[in-house]
Amino acid sequence: MQLRETDVSSAAACDGGSALQGRETNKETTEHQRPMQQDDVGSDGDPNPGTPSCAQPILDDSTTWEQLPQIELKDLEWVRVPRPQKYGKGEVAVDNSLVINLDDLLRGKLRNESVIRSIIESNEHIRTLSLVAQARSLSEQLRTWAIKQEIDIDGFRGSGREDVEDAAQGSLAQITATIHGPSSSRILETRRFTPSTKSWKGSSGRASVSTFSLTGFASLIRTLFGDHTKALQPKLAVSVELLAETPLISTDTLLLMRKLGANFDWIDNQANSALAVFLHHLSRYQIEYSSAAHHFEKLVALIKPSKLFRDPADASPCTVENLVKLLPPRDQPLTSDPT
């Protein structure tokens, strides 16, 4: 079938990329017979919807050849086929200049900071890795890797950190005071410097929240999450976007836990409520230890990120419930196994 010149002119209205380029022979050819380029047709075969000037034919059983964008046969000689590249097992080309080994990335063997930074700062790179991981049934491992990029892993080593201007201790004191109302502020202010070995029990026989050493809890929070003084980096938005693509992980939960660990100045009312209820439920386990090291050893099971991102309907009330679910049954001792 002979291709009509009018169809070429029609196709020329679609502005595209540079994979298929026509030779500029004269003004008429340049303006009216530009060959159709690669970006003029989408990956599904439809003309690119990003070019509104291009006619968008409906593809069905009644579509005729004349309705489709046309190019001249002589212009096919200007098709440029990229040089084939050889990739090893597990390698992924995230762009024209960056090839990474996905297996090494997920196993933590890829330690080039500049490469990792370029990945987490690019939505396209994250999306590419997400698609490849999904095809290889590695989505869970990729989510775990993304969570690790978001949470300061060094904060889980149990090393003591300085409480700058008693910010963490003061925040926890305020949260605990809120549980009992303004009248308990004076008691809590006194009790927070009382050694936690002095157990005080209410009439119910259970340890009161005021039994907790708030200094110890402040140290615990710093031990678990660290003291982050820098603002959230762009990688947060990228990681949240990636994690939100799966119903198993809640963006609200991720943001909430990040705020709890990033900087106490970032804690909002929702996070205050969640942490307050969490501490309230901890009281019935009579957890009383005098140092951050003891807290870290006994509560290490509570800091496993994989247990926090499992509820698809994770609104703020569910967030509180999920935190409480991390507690073992009352008749089961807290584990000290960090794995």
Bridge partners, 207 (sequence order): 201
Mean pLDDT to the nearest integer, 316-326 = 44
Residue predicted with more confidence, 254 or 262? 254
Residues 37, 71: Cα–Cα separation, whole Å: 9
As a whole number of angstroms, the distance between CA 215 and CA 199 comes to 15
* pLDDT value for 53: 57
Residue 93 has pLDDT above 80, yes or no: yes
Please tell me the predicted confidence (pLDDT) of residue 164. 63
Question: What is the average pLDDT value for the chain, to the nearest integer?
Answer: 53
- What share of the chain in percent tops pLDDT 90? 0
Q: Looking at residue 162, what is its pLDDT?
A: 56
Residues 56 and 46: their CA atoms lie apart, in Å, by: 8
Residue 73, pLDDT score: 82
Reported as a single tens digit per residue, the pLDDT across 278-303 is 444 444 444 443 344 444 444 444 44
pLDDT in tens, 201-257: 333 333 333 333 444 444 444 444 444 333 333 333 333 333 333 333 344 444 544
Asked if residue 267 lies in contact with residue 330, where contact means CB atoms within 8 angstroms, the answer is no
- Residue 289 has φ and ψ, to the nearest 5°, of -135, 155
pLDDT at site 115: 85
> 91 — phi, psi (to 5°)?
-80, 145
Which residue reads 């109302």 in tokens? Answer: 181
